[in-house]
């Protein structure tokens, strides 16, 4: 059983052809906070492998930190893999140490001097330069910059955020309306049908999925980028 699953890829150099090729990656977090990785080469049909999470120490500490509970995980199509510790701190994975059995493979990401107490609940990695997060308790959305996390909403505003490979970013606000990040600000998707969402997922600008929960009914809505009528750009995934 998974509480969270992340699918992406990473690039390697093929040992025979010496050409770059993409390897599929899938990671998951269980409801109990255990982190698993899909082993595509395993003979086991249930090829989810439990991962140990050892994080490189931050000076002056010298001993790696073993993280026993993970809150969230996200991986992009360019191989940027990040996770959240139970304390809401983001860590990133070093693929150059993937085969190592002795080194810490994870490192804490600089949150910024002003964000020492920040505790995140969700992350979304679009690419190595587009990493977003949600403080679910305070309903505030953040973007990772060179100096750490930058707030992109006030408190009480955001309930979901998702980043795509091409830097497309969507969010859902507390009123369950959809917004897209454009020109350093949030642009309301102010269509009559685009209300009532609780979360969103982004592949790129042309591939956006949003989710509604109407009582016991759960709906999936899809963005239709080629639809000229703005009132019809969002439709039920099942064709309704």
At residue 19, the pLDDT reads: 85
Whole-angstrom distance, CA of residue 11 vs CA of residue 132 = 22
For 143, the token pair is 């973007």
0.85 exceeded by the pTM? yes
Find, among 14, 144, 140, 137, the residue nearest to 74 by Cα: 144
24-36 burial code (b ≥16 CB/10 A, e <16): ebbbbbbeebbbb
Q: What is the DSSP letter of 153?
A: S
Q: Which residues of the chain have pLDDT under 50?
A: 240
At residue 165, the pLDDT reads: 96
Whole-angstrom distance, CA of residue 33 vs CA of residue 50 = 11
Q: What is the DSSP letter of 58?
A: P
Q: Is there a contact between 88 and 118 (Cβ–Cβ < 8 Å)?
A: yes
Helix, strand, or coil (residue 96): helix
The per-residue pLDDT for range 38-76, each reduced to its tens digit, is 987 777 777 899 999 999 999 899 999 999 999 999 999
Whole-angstrom distance, CA of residue 143 vs CA of residue 127 = 12
């693929």: which residue's tokens?
Answer: 95
């Amino acid at each position: 059983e998974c509480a969270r699953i992340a699918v992406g890829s990473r690039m390697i150099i093929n040992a025979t052809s010496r050409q770059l090729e993409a390897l599929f990656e899938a990671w998951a977090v269980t409801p109990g906070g255990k982190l698993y990785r899909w082993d595509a080469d395993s003979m086991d049909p249930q090829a989810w492998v439990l991962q140990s999470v050892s994080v490189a120490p931050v000076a002056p500490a010298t001993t790696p930190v073993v993280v026993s509970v993970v809150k969230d995980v996200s991986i992009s199509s360019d191989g940027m893999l990040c996770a959240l510790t139970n304390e809401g701190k983001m860590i990133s994975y070093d693929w150059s140490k993937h085969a190592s059995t002795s080194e810490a493979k994870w490192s804490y990401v600089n949150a910024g001097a002003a964000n020492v107490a920040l505790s995140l609940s969700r992350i979304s990695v679009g690419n190595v330069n587009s990493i977003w997060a949600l403080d679910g308790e305070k309903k505030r959305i953040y973007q990772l910059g060179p100096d750490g996390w930058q707030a992109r909403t006030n408190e009480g505003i955001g309930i979901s955020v998702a980043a795509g490979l091409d830097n497309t970013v969507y969010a859902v606000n507390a009123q369950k309306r959809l917004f897209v990040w454009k020109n350093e600000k949030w642009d309301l998707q102010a269509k009559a049908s685009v209300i009532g969402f609780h979360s969103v997922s982004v592949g790129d600008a042309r591939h956006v999925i949003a989710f509604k929960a109407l009582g016991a009914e759960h709906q999936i809505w899809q963005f239709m980028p080629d639809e000229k009528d703005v009132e019809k750009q969002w439709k039920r995934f099942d064709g309704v």
